Amino acid sequence: DTIGDNFDRTAAAYPDVDALVEVSTGRRWTYVQLREDVDKVACGLLQAGLQVGDRLGIWAPNMAEWTLVQYATAKIGVVLVNINPSYRTHELEFVLNQAGISVLVAAREFKTSDYAGMIEQVRPNCPDLRKVVIIGSPEWDEVAAGGDAGDRVRLAETQAGLSTDDPINIQYTSGTTGFPKGATLSHHNILNNGHSLGRILGYGPDDRVCIPVPFYHCFGMVMGNLGCTTNGATMVIPAQGFDPKATLHAVAQERCTSLYGVPTMFIAELNDPEFGSYDLSSLRTGIMAGSPCPVEVMKQVVDRMGMTEVTIAYGMTETSPVSTQTRRDDSLELRVSTVGRVLPHLEVKVVDPETGATLPRNTPGELCTRGYSVMLGYWNQQEKTDEVLDRARWMHTGDIAVMDDDGYVNITGRIKDMVIRGGENVYPREIEEFLYTHPDILDAQVIGVPDVKYGEELCAWITQREGTTPLDAAAVREFATGKLAHYKIPRYVMVVDEFPMTVTGKVRKVEMRASSVETLG
Ligand code: ATP
Ligand code: MG
């Protein structure tokens, strides 16, 4: 299937099921209504002169128009380029030119960002950009009006002529370890992944999925939107940006059965002072993913949110994104402590990052993924593509993993984050998990900082629970002494209010390393 054909099939099977709910505005669509509006936008875009293979940029927070544009572009074979809502002029100009975007659909503003103003600033430097459509403006109304009868015919013809192997989406990585890269993905890549992970969660027309993760990222647009529309479930948008209260409110009001988030989002929800006042009894399942999922947080999600079938997924933008996932019938122990087993029709292996040789089970090494989910390549960056995709089309993830005898995978960190202290490999994840067990510590992140004697030393950044007295290095070291090997005990401790984050809610350790080096001299 192409994404458009698959969407039409779902709309035909479940015409009256809710497809999309925007909680903040109260707007809602059934599948048959959403299909009608998607087709109108598709026709409007054809009328605007877009052709198969052209690039359309979308620069907006989570809102219904994002989803309309996602499916409308898929129907006419236009490559959707997801633009990070936190970008400013420099980055915007870069992505407009790098992807050769000819039409940009954007929100007028978001939080303190004046998108329309920034677009006007960079426009003279973007020769490919010929049309800007601000959502809510007369230009948008024209696109959404759906062209004429001739455009309907062209829509049907265009949609019928598409191939599932065509590129349909350029998604930028989170930028956790450096500058984001644009992964080029086909219908085949992302549609199958959305379908597969939705099946693992048991999605059907009775499911209502709360999606507080950004659409700009694969977590929102593939695991969220495509996971729903391939299985007839309902997409629920709690708010434009992440807000713990809005998320809990959306779950309660819309009786959501599933909730998504990166660990930091679940932590914020669980620690919200009004957590207890929301009725979350409809929740059954959900996904935690994006960065290491602390066991303690997973347990609370099961016990306090009632997400008894919650799963952990592991993946990356370059692999559409999910490669491994826990299953609903895995034991609780495995479900909270591993990233599960490989998805159907995909392969994973663990290799020695130096030699590329496959390692025996239970040995840490670099995780590699192969199969339908692997991206076509980074957009216009052949060299970068060749660094991660080998000749046999294995994607080298840059993540360190261990696979047990039954195929359960554990992600122990990123190669770039591993700390080598005095010749010992230290995996920050292990120390972070340990620090969570301190009653006053809310969240912990461990990085390596340069050290003359040991090469690197460990530095822990912590946030503390409200009303607790600030901890210092001595207190943390004392807490760890006798429980961790001496070389795993952080030398430095910094108490902060928050960590530097990507818009996808991941901690930017690159930034933490730079600022620690500055602070520690
Ligand atoms: P960049 O590639 O730009 O540095 P990024 O790798 O964070 O950013 P994404 O594609 O959004 O960009 O994230 C993929 C990465 O997220 C994986 O390579 C892995 O390091 C991490 N990750 C995803 N899911 C999990 C998980 N369940 N447990 C641990 N880590 C995870
Ligand atoms: Mg990455």
Could you tell me if the CB of 396 is within 6 A of ligand 1? Answer: no
Res 180: pLDDT: 83
Q: Are 219 and 262 in contact (CB under 8 A)?
A: yes
> How much is the average pLDDT of 77-91?
94
pLDDT tens track for 130-170: 999 999 999 999 999 998 899 999 999 999 999 999 999 99
Residue 314 pLDDT > 90, yes or no? yes
d(CA 136, CA 107): 8
- Residue 102 has a pLDDT of 98
pLDDT band, very low/low/confident/very high, at 413 (cuts 50, 70, 90): confident
Q: Mean pLDDT over residues 10-23, rounded?
A: 98
Mean pLDDT of the chain: 95
**176 Cβ below 6 A of ligand 1:** yes
Nearest atom (ligand 1) to Cα of 219: 11
* pLDDT attached to residue 231: 98
For a pLDDT cut of 70, what percent of the chain falls above it? 100
The residue-averaged pLDDT of 332-350 equals 95
Q: What is the pLDDT of residues 114-123, one digit of tens each?
A: 999 999 999 9
Helices 115-122 and 89-98 sit at what angle, rounded to 10 degrees?
Answer: 60
Distance 413 CA to ligand 1 centre (A): 10
Which token pair is 170?
């350029």
Instruction: Say if ligand 1 is within 6 A of residue 223 CB.
Output: no
Give nearest CA residue, ligand 1 atom 17: 316
Q: What is the pLDDT of residue 445?
A: 95
Q: How confident is the model at residue 23 (pLDDT cuts 50, 70, 90)?
A: very high
ipTM field:
0.99
pTM for this model (two decimals): 0.91
411 CA from centroid of ligand 1 (Å): 10
CA 171/CA 218 separation, integer angstroms: 7
Lowest mean pLDDT among 137-151, 171-185, 222-236: 171-185
| Local confidence band at 291 (pLDDT 50, 70, 90 cut-offs) | confident
Ligand 1 centroid from CA 289, angstroms = 9
List of residues 6+ apart from 354 with CB closer than 8 A: none
Q: Residue 303: helix, strand or coil by DSSP?
A: helix
Question: Best substitution site from 184, 317, 388 to test ligand 1's pocket, by max atoms within 8 Å of Cβ?
Answer: 317
Determine if ligand 1 sits within 6 Å of the CB of residue 177: yes
Written as one letter, the residue type at 331 is S
The answer, yes or no, to whether any atom of ligand 1 lies below 6 A from the CB of 287, is no
Q: What torsion, rounded to 10 degrees, do the Cα atoms 205, 207, 213, 216 define?
A: 0
